[in-house]
């Protein structure tokens, strides 16, 4: 359940008063050189009541963005007297560039960008820099050699590790299918598979304990699309059946792809080998309760939206990136502390980051999600569960 925002906003109000009177995934680390962190809004610091935060979403097709991230971010900004304005690019790179240009023209003092593609977004990033508008890369990394972009996300290596830890504990030996996300997203290409390897997947493949069915480095899913994941998984099932191979487990990087995998397993009457996912989407938590998905790594994105809103307001007020502080629930609070820390990107760049902690959820721990007041309510999670069955999750009884 979200904390009341009063103490946070009171602290921000003090901060804004000071600023307006003259003051200016990986795992986070504390060593190395310090990236530049004194970005200020165009025209200098801005009083909270005049702060406009422009948000560019890559899409609302995945339900969490509109259900959790957006309302939490919007509330923090508007409760402090700021203006929240946003655009949905609907999975289109060109549209996202246009959207960001529009937000700049409309007077955004800070930009929060959920990038559709971390390379295609670079012209928009340059426009923001030219206009001296601070940028927050939200949930998805944007490689920034200058170190002037703040990266706010969940620990995506920890997400991948939690997925693989759960599945490997359930199926320590056997044949696995690897379903990855969009190839243009650094999360899919680097952070999540890195987490799988930290859990020991690569070691087990090398030893022969685990065999990969399908491409050895996994099957990518354009736009993290559920239907595409279904089609890809059905093709893998057909090929496995033809080769007399049994699928013992599936590592899917997120919930939309996991939903597609579960649909393919249903369509093919295959049964449900242990399957991973992440995000805590209602349909997937329901699949966990029904036994169709084994683990869902929950990222309480109410708190991620809150953190981004707090950071955006402080950047808008002219606070140096290195001096930002956030206040989120202890269950997701960054292991490295509540201020930005150094993060070395896959491209070798030093960026400041705020990285929140995820929570793996299985049928035995569904009550955690319900108790937190997540947008997936008990009725959603337990839909279709035979509560009289001895195997029904305790949360549904």
- Among residues 114, 121, 155, 168, the alpha carbon closest in space to that of 136 is found at 114
pLDDT tens figures, 332-363: 999 999 999 999 998 999 999 999 999 999 99
pLDDT tens figures, 259-274: 999 999 999 999 999 9
Is it true that domain 157-298+361-396 has CATH number 3.40.50.2300? yes
CB atoms within 10 A of CB 288: 27
Site of tokens 């690897």:
178
pLDDT at residue 159 greater than cutoff 80:
yes
How many whole angstroms separate alpha carbon 56 and alpha carbon 79?
20
pLDDT at 305: 97
pLDDT at residue 258 greater than cutoff 50:
yes
Q: What is the rounded average pLDDT of the residues 375-397?
A: 96
How many whole angstroms separate alpha carbon 293 and alpha carbon 14?
46
Domain borders along the chain are 6-154+300-357, 157-298+361-396
Q: What is the rounded average pLDDT of the residues 166-177?
A: 98
Q: Where are the beta strands (DSSP E) in the chain?
A: 52-57, 83-88, 110-113, 135-138, 149-154, 174-179, 210-212, 249-252, 276-278, 295-298, 341-344, 350-356, 359-361
Mean pLDDT in the chain?
A: 89
Phi, psi of 34 (to 5 degrees): -95, 125
Burial class for 386, CB neighbours closer than 10 Å (0-12, 13-18, 19+): exposed
pLDDT tens figures, 6-45: 444 444 443 333 333 332 244 433 233 333 333 333 445 6
CB atoms within 10 A of CB 358: 24
Site of tokens 């700049």:
104
pLDDT tens figures, 43-73: 456 665 689 999 999 998 878 899 999 999 9
pLDDT at 6: 41
pLDDT tens figures, 108-154: 999 999 999 989 999 999 999 999 999 999 999 999 999 999 999 99
- H-helix or E-strand containing 333? none
Q: Exposure pattern of 98-126 as b/e (b: 16+ CB <10 Å)?
A: ebbeebbeeebbbbbbbbbbbeebeebbe
pLDDT at residue 170 greater than cutoff 50:
yes
Q: 6-154+300-357 in CATH: which number?
A: 3.40.50.2300
How many residues belong to the chain?
397
| 249-252 vs 210-212, strand pairing mode | unpaired
pLDDT at residue 243 greater than cutoff 50:
yes
How many whole angstroms separate alpha carbon 298 and alpha carbon 49?
34
Range in 21-35, 169-183, 213-227, 303-317 with the lowest mean pLDDT = 21-35
């Amino acid at each position: 359940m979200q904390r009341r925002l009063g103490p946070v906003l009171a602290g921000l109000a003090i901060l804004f008063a000071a600023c307006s009177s003259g003051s200016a995934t990986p795992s986070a680390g504390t060593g190395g050189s310090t990236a530049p962190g004194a970005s200020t809004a165009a025209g200098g610091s801005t009083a909270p009541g005049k702060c406009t935060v422009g948000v560019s979403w890559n899409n609302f097709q995945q339900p969490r963005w509109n259900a959790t991230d957006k309302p939490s971010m919007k509330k923090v900004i508007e409760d402090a007297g700021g203006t929240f304005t946003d655009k949905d690019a609907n999975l289109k790179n060109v549209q996202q560039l246009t959207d960001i240009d529009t937000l700049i023209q409309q007077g955004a003092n800070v930009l929060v960008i959920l990038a559709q593609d971390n390379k295609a977004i670079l012209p928009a990033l340059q426009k923001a820099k030219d206009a001296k508008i601070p940028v927050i890369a939200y949930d998805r990394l944007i490689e920034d050699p200058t170190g002037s972009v703040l990266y706010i996300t969940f620990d995506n290596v920890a997400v991948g590790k939690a997925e693989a830890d759960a599945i490997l504990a359930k199926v320590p030996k056997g044949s696995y299918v690897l379903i990855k996300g969009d190839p243009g997203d650094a999360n899919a290409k680097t952070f999540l598979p890195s987490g799988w390897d930290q859990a020991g997947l690569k070691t087990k493949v090398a030893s022969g304990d685990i065999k990969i069915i399908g491409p050895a480095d996994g099957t990518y899913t354009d736009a993290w699309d559920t239907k595409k994941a279904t089609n890809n998984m059905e093709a893998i099932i057909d090929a496995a059946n033809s080769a007399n191979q049994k699928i013992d487990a599936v590592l899917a990087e997120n919930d939309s792809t996991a939903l597609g995998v579960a649909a393919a397993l249903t369509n093919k009457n295959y049964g449900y080998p242990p399957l991973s996912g992440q995000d805590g989407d209602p349909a997937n938590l329901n699949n966990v309760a029904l036994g169709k998905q084994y683990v869902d790594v929950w990222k309480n994105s109410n708190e991620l939206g809150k953190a981004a809103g707090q950071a955006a307001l402080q950047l808008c007020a002219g606070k140096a990136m290195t001096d930002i502080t956030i206040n989120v629930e202890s269950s997701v609070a960054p292991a490295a502390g509540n201020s930005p820390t150094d993060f070395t990107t896959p491209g070798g760049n030093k960026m400041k980051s705020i990285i929140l902690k995820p929570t793996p959820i299985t049928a035995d721990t569904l009550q955690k999600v319900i108790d937190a007041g997540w947008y997936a309510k008990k009725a959603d999670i337990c839909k279709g569960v035979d509560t009289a069955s001895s195997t029904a999750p305790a949360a549904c009884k």
